[in-house]
Structure 1
Amino acid sequence: MIVSTRAWIAAALLALLSVLPPAHASLLVLSYHDVRDDVAPKGDPDPYAVSTTNFAQHLDWLRAHGYQAVSVQQVIDARAGRGTLPNKAVLLTFDDGLRSVYTHVFPLLRAYNWPALVAPVTSWVELPADQAVPYGPRDFTTGDFLTWAQLREMHDSGLVEIGSHSHDLHRGLPGNPFGNQTPAAVTRIWSEGSGYEREAAWRARIEADLQASRALIERNIGQAPRVIVWPYAAYNDVANGIATALGMDLSFDLEGRAQATDLGLQGEDRADQASLASLARLLMHRNPDVRDLAGELRRDLSLDGMRAIQVDLDYVYDADPAQLARNVDVLVQRIQDIGPSHVWLQAFADPDGDGAAEAVYFPSRHMPVRADLFNRVAWQLRTRAQVRVYAWMPVLGFKLADANLQRELQIEATGENEIPRLDPGDPRTLDIVSDIYAELAANSHFDGLLFHDDAYLRDDEIPGYGGGVPAARTQGLIDFTMALKTAAQRWRPKLMTARNLFARPVLEPASEAWFAQRLEPFLAAYDTTALMAMPHMEQADDPQAWLRTLAAAVRATPDGVERTLFELQTVDWRVPAPLPGDTLRAQSRMLQAAGIRHLGYYPDDFIGNQPTLEDARDAMSARAFPYLER
């Protein structure tokens, strides 16, 4: 799918659905694009345009409600420990370098004496008269963009910081063999002749682009940029490191709406935060009036319920490219029709169903590659179905391409039907699996990680691990997963985490010894604990009563309701046969009545329409009104 120069921003809006509220944050950053007089109140063809009237009312409301405008310099000082930000600090930012920033925004900034950050795409400032940029509903020409004289005048006023929005990274590039156009700043370009761009070539391309942007701004403005605003909010820690080396120590994305920047971090911790973490911004979208802005800033996002569908990529894969393409379209359309908030998408191949990865769906040197498919499907789910995608990955369950190494590392299972797993106590296991996670993140675009249910240890497996102490064994596996997250985050910053948890350790805490799992440390470690609330799998005589007991145990655990998702089953694997759709509806409603906030289900047979679209939508839609119009 060819993505326009601005379509990816829509996916970034989904970040607003799952970040923590700004109750303890010290900085709110607002992201604007075009500000015009003639923007329709609702339904304007350009969803990122804000009317001049609404923008002025935003400034009035913010000032009246105690928000204090701050400059980029104040933010830099706060992050460096040279000062603190005022209570309810707010920074205004304007992306792309549109002419309206000078004609409509700058006069209001002077009237209010409010500082701001303006980040132009420098190639657009330099756009030749005979060229155009596809921008929203129409092509923009040189008259739609700022001139260097206008940028210099705003900078010289002392109110406006000029940052970089790159020189030529505000576009998509071929990101996989299927032709998906993905953000240039983080894409390893795919070409039919040579495959993926090498890391060294990618680094050189990013550095050359940022150097070009820096040189143009310094030459025309008189000061080199200190800020990088990543196009489409797409960046990674390596790209941020390149920007930092060029003097752009402060970077911005769209992953959230507020953050703390003056928490007193010292030494290396502060340096790490300043160089690696981009600041979140709230994107002004669909011309919000002052009521919309007030409602968004007052809304506690932590109260939003997560609705997750776990999807097998094995069901999407087909050796026939035409059938594979049809399967992708059916899946994406179904997810769009159901309307969950999240999809947990399988990134590994498990055709024999033993729970271990026999291959992966992304480029890897440690594992066989069944097909380079994950990035294609994840990208289309994010951009077309507007959901957040987590990569569902094993922790220990891998069948390595090196058969000898597999024999050396594989746990000698003591029971029947155990998932083949690698020894977490052997340093080689962590090195290899960390590399696999880094390969996934370097070649794919996703929002989080779902750690598979293979991360367990029986009490008689590797008895010396954790000194044989159940709590230490549990923490050891948690630490293992956190190392995997770290490996992935180098290429996909701010990843959220979820991990499958068996129900028995919740209902019978002593069974931690049999699984090396326990709810309380999971809640402390992961953003979401995906509790396998599957009464038929547990052979419960009364599924509803079993679920009520499980819900009561979670409610009795601190942070249990806030951070636990109940993952229901849609198939009775003992038969096997699909469970009736009424079962999914009844269980989801009962759990919500019992105070459970986050729900999901597995599996989803998108080809066979099981559960049916109506049942799935009723149980799992995250929309306020999930039903189709008649």
Structure 2
Amino acid sequence: MNRMRSMISALSALLLVLALPFGAAATQAPASEPLLVLSYHDIRDDVARKGDADAFAVSTQNFAAHLDWLSGEGYHPVSLSQIVEASKGGAPLPPKPVLITFDDGLRSVYTKAFPLLRAYGYPALAAVVTDWVDLPAGRSVDYGPRPFTTDDFLTWEQLREMQASGLIDVASHSADLHRGVISNPQGNSTPAAITRIYDPAHGYETEQAYLARIRNDLTRSSSTIKRELGRAPRAIVWPYAAYSDVTNEIADSLGMTVSFDLKGRSTKLTSNLHGLSRLLVMDNASLGDLAYQLRHDKARVGVRALQIDLDAVYDADPAQMGRNLDVLVERVKRIGPTHVFLQAFADPDGNGSADALYFPNRFLPMRADLFNRVSWQLKSRAGVEVIGWLPVLGFEPADARVRHDLAIRNTAPDEIFRLDFTRPEVRSMVRGIYEDLAVAAYLDGLLFHDDAYVRDTELLGTLPSDPALRTRALIDFTLELERAAERWRPKLKTVRNLYARTVLQPESEAWFAQRLDRFNAAYDYTAVMAMPWMEGSRTPERWLDGLVTAARRYDPDLTQTLFELQTIDWRTSRPIPGERLVRQVRRLLAQGVRHVGWYPDDFIGNRPKLEHAQEAMSARSFPYEER
């Protein structure tokens, strides 16, 4: 132990000599400069260079190198107090501001990180799970690679010492929310802070009981920190970065007006300090790894999306449904796309509108409580972002009279059934459906279905005749739906389907109330249905070339336009050969397309075949597994 202390002291002294001065010499940054926040967990001397059992651990050597590199690259450390002051119009943050945070309250924050932070003069934020700090002797926490005991966590005495140094702010990481709770009838666990607990005997936790549970936990955590450290926390670091606007409102009422997540790496400061982005440092990131994470342009990362029919997972036999789910997750894991667009509605008759939903809701029948289970399995086991796919107008209320009264009039017989969104009761119902989806399940974003169109012969007298205004009205409604969902799932990505005809023939905006440039201004991505057989083309590849050329008129660098191919020729019900789909993807990429997807991905029938799906839709640099 004495030898270890001597090594720490020597290393600290060396780093103090090497460190560049901060603070007084720094010039002020423009108010718009974003705040970088880095998220660390355990700092250990013995972390394996790669493949350590604890993916969240960083070696002491690499952590020291990170601090040295940040100082050399002109980053300026800031404290929580500086951030709060700047958000209120006080002294602006220095150029390239960075905040270091530590989650979970592990002992290494004191033994390994704190000496280095003192050497560099770096302030930091330590977020503690108060029940873990108070963990009784003989009890343990299942912390991934092994059970952690009280000796693995910070003590209140150590926290008092670090706080007294003026470098360390202590935040809440909850009292007992750093765990999973049962979230559905199948027994899956999801983060406690965002989940309405499922009890087989009583069903789902009520909203009132859920909010009381969160308030009680945060109150207990805040009170414990104040009792032990003499100061209540001003910040909450949500376990697993799982939170909502509603839980932030509870934290606000308890004085925790700053919160953090793990979506993104930096945030432009405003007066609202909830949901500050953090970059999670993991896999024992080397200096090169960290530099890459901070320098690479995330906007250039290509999307590879599989659109999945949940109708194909559903089966009246629960055992078969479980097997279907396993096949799906294994296929997605082996393909390695970035995203799955996951159907959240039931359309067994294939008419394009929702007869029922796959999540508990207040408005339509629930075919099965399935979306939550599948989305979390895809997220946790296959490592993809899950985008919930729902209609915008195409919902069929069970009551025939209601369905008739609320439907859009004067539609052609072959049109998708759609509700009249200009009616307040329709808007309220659809908003509620989107809110219920966000309450029921984990998701990263929303895909607005291709039912979101209005013909020029429809809703006459209630919508303007100007095509641009009609397009705007539908966009505004989808953004209203996004806001309803984001109350429970913040920072959702948005994708909207677009008919190819509106790209190839811009005047057709009048017939659909859709247009690519308006969509790209409103959503993160526009999924153009790049489906030549559906459009009746006799030369599919040349048709795709024309679509790319036409899309460039609106999106020159194709940064937001996703080209979604078809894997089935619906006119003949025959699958498109996988080799041809691979060639089409290559052809698109050669023309500068960044984002591609396809629909449907038939995971049950292995169509397209796995090897073709890997070649076309994998986001991995080398998608094939060793045999």
The TM-score normalised by the length of structure 1 is 0.94
Contact preservation (8 Å) 1:523, 1:560: no
What is the rounded CA distance, in whole Å, between the counterparts of 2:221 and 2:275 in structure 1?
Answer: 19
Counterpart for residue 112 of structure 1: 120
Shift of 1:562: 0.2
Shift of 1:413: 4.3
Residue aligned with 2:428, SS:
helix
Shift of 1:554: 1.3
Counterpart for residue 25 of structure 2: none
Contact preservation (8 Å) 1:523, 1:559: no
Deviation per CA, 1:289-345: give whole Å up to 9, x if none. 111111111111111100000000000000000000000000000000111000000
What is the rounded CA distance, in whole Å, between the counterparts of 2:596 and 2:484 in structure 1?
Answer: 28
Counterpart for residue 195 of structure 1: 203
1:21-420 aligned at under 5 Å gives the runs: 25-262=33-270, 270=271, 273-274=272-273, 277-420=274-417
Q: Which residue type is aligned with residue 364 of structure 1?
A: N
Residue aligned with 1:445, SS:
coil
Deviation per CA, 1:152-182: give whole Å up to 9, x if none. 1100111000000000000000001110010
Deviation per CA, 1:114-151: give whole Å up to 9, x if none. 10000110000000001000112100000000000000
Given the alignment, which residue of 562, 565, 583 partners 1:565? 562
Q: Which residue type is aligned with residue 620 of structure 2?
A: R
Larger deviation, residues 292-301 vs 480-489: 292-301
Shift of 1:74: 1.1
Matched, 1:523 2:520: yes
Contact preservation (8 Å) 1:95, 1:118: yes
Matched, 1:445 2:442: yes
What is the rounded CA distance, in whole Å, between the counterparts of 1:230 and 1:97 in structure 2?
Answer: 13
What is the rounded CA distance, in whole Å, between the counterparts of 2:403 and 2:176 in structure 1?
Answer: 45
Residue aligned with 1:166, SS:
coil
Residue aligned with 2:275, SS:
coil
Distance 1:373 1:559, change over 3 A: farther
- Relative contact order, higher structure (CA 8 A, sep 6+): 1
Shift of 1:25: 4.9
Contact preservation (8 Å) 1:185, 1:235: yes
Counterpart for residue 503 of structure 1: 500
What is the rounded CA distance, in whole Å, between the counterparts of 2:396 and 2:481 in structure 1?
Answer: 17
Residue aligned with 2:160, SS:
helix
Counterpart for residue 21 of structure 1: none
Distance 1:57 1:140, change over 3 A: same
Shift of 1:194: 0.6
What is the rounded CA distance, in whole Å, between the counterparts of 2:497 and 2:164 in structure 1?
Answer: 55
Q: Percent identity?
A: 60
Deviation per CA, 1:359-409: give whole Å up to 9, x if none. 000001100000000000000000000000000000000011343322211
What is the rounded CA distance, in whole Å, between the counterparts of 1:367 and 1:405 in structure 2?
Answer: 12
Deviation per CA, 1:574-593: give whole Å up to 9, x if none. 01111111221111010001
Shift of 1:256: 1.2
Residue aligned with 2:67, SS:
helix
Contact preservation (8 Å) 2:329, 2:378: yes
What is the rounded CA distance, in whole Å, between the counterparts of 1:89 and 1:407 in structure 2?
Answer: 58
Contact preservation (8 Å) 2:555, 2:561: no
Counterpart for residue 10 of structure 1: none
Q: Which residue type is aligned with residue 138 of structure 2?
A: D
Shift of 1:480: 0.4
What is the rounded CA distance, in whole Å, between the counterparts of 1:367 and 1:240 in structure 2?
Answer: 30
Deviation per CA, 1:472-525: give whole Å up to 9, x if none. 000000000000000000000000000000000100000001000001100100
Counterpart for residue 590 of structure 2: 593
Deviation per CA, 1:235-256: give whole Å up to 9, x if none. 0010000000000000001111
Contact preservation (8 Å) 2:304, 2:617: yes
Counterpart for residue 266 of structure 1: none
What is the rounded CA distance, in whole Å, between the counterparts of 1:222 and 1:445 in structure 2?
Answer: 37
Contact preservation (8 Å) 2:557, 2:592: no
Shift of 1:559: 5.4
Shift of 1:84: 1.8
What is the rounded CA distance, in whole Å, between the counterparts of 2:523 and 2:86 in structure 1?
Answer: 28
Contact preservation (8 Å) 1:91, 1:115: yes
Larger Rg: 2
Counterpart for residue 460 of structure 1: 457
Counterpart for residue 16 of structure 2: none
What is the rounded CA distance, in whole Å, between the counterparts of 1:603 and 1:83 in structure 2?
Answer: 54
Matched, 1:490 2:487: yes
Residue correspondences, number: 597
What is the rounded CA distance, in whole Å, between the counterparts of 1:409 and 1:469 in structure 2?
Answer: 24
What is the rounded CA distance, in whole Å, between the counterparts of 1:91 and 1:64 in structure 2?
Answer: 16
Contact preservation (8 Å) 1:26, 1:87: no
What is the rounded CA distance, in whole Å, between the counterparts of 2:525 and 2:79 in structure 1?
Answer: 35
What is the rounded CA distance, in whole Å, between the counterparts of 1:403 and 1:443 in structure 2?
Answer: 27
Residue aligned with 1:278, SS:
strand
Counterpart for residue 604 of structure 2: 607
What is the rounded CA distance, in whole Å, between the counterparts of 1:613 and 1:100 in structure 2?
Answer: 44
What is the rounded CA distance, in whole Å, between the counterparts of 1:432 and 1:233 in structure 2?
Answer: 30
Runs (4+) off by over 3 Å: none
Q: Which residue type is aligned with residue 191 of structure 1?
A: D
Unaligned runs of 5+ in 2: 1-31
Contact preservation (8 Å) 1:535, 1:546: yes
Q: Which residue type is aligned with residue 153 of structure 2?
A: F
What is the rounded CA distance, in whole Å, between the counterparts of 1:50 and 1:303 in structure 2?
Answer: 28
Residue aligned with 1:467, SS:
coil
Q: Which residue type is aligned with residue 203 of structure 1?
A: L
Shift of 1:607: 0.6
